[in-house]
Amino acid sequence: MANGLLLVGCGKMGGAMLAGWLEQGTDPATVVVVEPADVLRQPWTASGVTAVASAADIPADFVPDCVIFAVKPQQMAMVTPDYKRFVGSDTQFLSIAAGTTIAFFEGVLGAHAAIVRTMPNTPAAVGKGMLVACPNGPVTAAMRSRADSLLAAVGAVAWIDDEFLMDAVTAVSGSGPAYVFYMIQCMAEAGVAAGLPAELAAQLASQTVYGAGALAHSAAEDPGTLRKNVTSPGGTTQAALEVLMADDGLSPLMRRAVDAAAVRSRELGA
């Protein structure tokens, strides 16, 4: 084998990224996956990807351009040392493990290793993710561009240079899908309480959030303007917003929630 991509871990997020790369034209013959679980390896082997059970099984002539760590944060200390042999001027390391700092990787791989820390979120599984990346010093412009292309296969990409911001990123976009799912749940439950059949209430809530999100993403107006466009003076929307926008309404509640998530992210990364 020649150079290519080495994906360590092929669960939901790793699998979503690999699917995105293949859909965008990456040659499966240039991809090696390390995944202990047989059930997760087999589908990719059938697609032409070299899928092995451990780092020891990686083809001896394979030197990756990029090593992507897609394992759980609690597994990282055990997994990472096996890949120190790939540290070099042309290989970069990309992590999608929440809370695992650049300092951790530099401690294991060495300060000269080129590392990009990334915070994705679960909508990446359907190609609609939000991924924020932070590089360390050895990451070159070419490496940054390559990482950007890899991440863009599953969603929108933003870059930061201050790793401290990753805790806030985690609190807003990393954990954010759960906030939206809970809002859908609450809207549906409120619909049932108002007399709607449960199935219809769930459909109304889910499709409304989906459509509003798509509109917010594509519209030239900011969310505040879009909200005003829907709100007729003295109408039903205004009546609801008077509750949501009260001094003890959604805004202060969301700030407390995001702050709690950011604090916990700092604790986990310590």
Confidence of residue 224 (pLDDT cuts 50, 70, 90): very high
Same topology between domain 5-163 and domain 174-269: no
User: Closest by alpha carbon to 96, among 205, 10, 200?
Assistant: 10
Q: What is the mean pLDDT of residues 127-152?
A: 94
Instruction: Please provide the CATH number assigned to the domain covering 5-163.
Output: 3.40.50.720
- Statement: residue 92 has pLDDT above 60: yes
Cα angle value 138/88/31 (rounded, 5°): 105
pLDDT band at 8 (very low <50, low <70, confident <90, very high): very high
Q: What is the mean pLDDT of the chain?
A: 93
Residue 12's pLDDT is 86
Can you list the positions of beta strands (E) in the chain? 5-8, 31-34, 50-52, 66-69, 92-95, 114-119, 129-135, 155-159
% the chain with pLDDT above 70: 99
Instruction: Report the topology of domain 174-269.
Output: ProC C-terminal domain-like fold (1.10.3730)
Q: How confident is the model at residue 91 (pLDDT cuts 50, 70, 90)?
A: very high
State the average pLDDT over residues 234-259.
96
pLDDT for residue 2 is more than 70: no
65-94: average pLDDT: 91
List, in sequence order, every beta strand (DSSP E) within 97-228: 114-119, 129-135, 155-159
- Per-residue pLDDT at 1 exceeds 90: no
First to last CA, the chain: 39
pTM: 0.88
Task: For residues 109-118, give the mean pLDDT.
Answer: 95
Residue 270 has pLDDT above 70, yes or no: no
Predicted pLDDT of residue 98: 81
**Domain boundaries in the chain?**
5-163, 174-269
